Amino acid sequence: MGRYDDDAFQAAYDKVLAKWPADREALRVPTPFGTTHVTACGPADAPPLVLLPGGGGATSTSWYAQAAHLARARRVLAVDLIGAPGRSEPAADRHPRTVADLAAWLDALLDGLRVTEADFGGHSYGAWIALRYAVHAPHRMRRLFLLDPTQCFAGFKAAYLLHALPMLLRPTPTRVRAFLDWETGGAATLDPDWLRLQEAAAGFPTVRPVTGPRPAPDALRDLNTPVLLLVAANSRTHDPYEVTAQVGELLPRAEADVVPGVSHHALPQSSPPELARRLSEFLGERPE
């Protein structure tokens, strides 16, 4: 594992966080699995929207390009995953090890935030967590949007896994940059502050992430939660059109579309106009 510099990571985190709206707050929520860090913005009395980042170094700050727009009608609550890069602190003797643990963690997080039900959004691995939680607790989820979800409707491409392997086996800033350069078609197109944070996360002291199978088809067919799926047209993670086809077969209240000109790892911090428009249309205006 590469040498980790916490000062560099925290400085890079703060620089991306500064792109959030000025009214942002840092919330610390105790759970049985450790203390969860949440970046919040928007009116305190607005309907809550819980955002889960992807894996591989992503943090709650990654939603900066969408936060101000989403916070017009929602109380945005962006989460640093327990045991992953960010400012959440896993308990010394307990961290999520199973899908059931992830669900229990989110139950405790919502309880700690005093949120009975919420809209949810997730990217990549965070979308997988959110979809599994929708199956676990549909009564707590009003709507769900998924940005290029992994391991939900299609498997990884072999080429993606091969390119990711060096970074996963021995993460270093150079390997992170090389991988993102390959997947996005040129890291020069990415926000340099966000890219610097991804590089600084290499070697972050993490716990093993919870992985598991795709949600059971029958469980998805029974899911009555409205779902919006937006797939990155240039994603090298999986076949975008296989993903959208599966969604049409499995989710009764889903709408799916392919976002042109964007790759998997360019979401959600890139901000194509149609992304903000589709999310706003799906979530709707703040109810009276």
- Render pLDDT for 120-166 as a digit per residue (tens, 0 to 9): 999 999 999 999 999 999 999 999 999 999 999 999 999 999 999 99
> In the prediction, which pLDDT does 56 show?
83
Tell whether the model's pLDDT for residue 47 goes beyond 60: yes
Give the integer Cα–Cα distance in Å for 270 and 268. 6
What angle (nearest 5°) sits at the alpha carbon of residue 255, between those of residues 249 and 256? 80
Prior bond to 217 cis, omega within 30? no
Please state, rounded to an integer, the average pLDDT across all residues of the chain.
Answer: 93
Q: Provide the pLDDT confidence category of residue 175 given band limits of 50, 70 and 90.
A: very high
Query: Which of the 8 DSSP states describes residue 213?
Result: P
pLDDT at 93 over 80: yes
Cα separation values, 283 from 9, 10, 27, 103, 152, Å: 33, 32, 24, 23, 21
Q: Which region holds residue 148: left if phi is over 0, alpha if psi is between -120 and 50, else beta? A: left
The residues that bridge with 76 in the sheet, in sequence order, are: 41, 49
For 155-189, give one letter per residue: b (16+ CB within 10 A) or e. Answer: eeeeebeeebeebeeebbbebbbebbbbbbeebee
The pLDDT value given to residue 207 = 86
Which pLDDT band holds residue 286 (cuts at 50, 70, 90)? low
Residue 199: CA atoms inside 13 Å, Cβ hemisphere, count? 18
Confidence at residue 206, expressed as pLDDT on a 0 to 100 scale: 86
Give pTM, 2 decimals: 0.95
Residue 27 tokens read as 């919330």
Q: What's the CA angle centered on 239, arms 237 and 243, to 5 degrees?
A: 105
Residue 78: which of 108, 119, 116, 117 has the closest Cα?
119
Would you call 210 helix, strand, or coil by DSSP?
Answer: coil
> What DSSP designation does 61 have?
G
pLDDT confidence bin for 18, thresholds 50/70/90:
very high
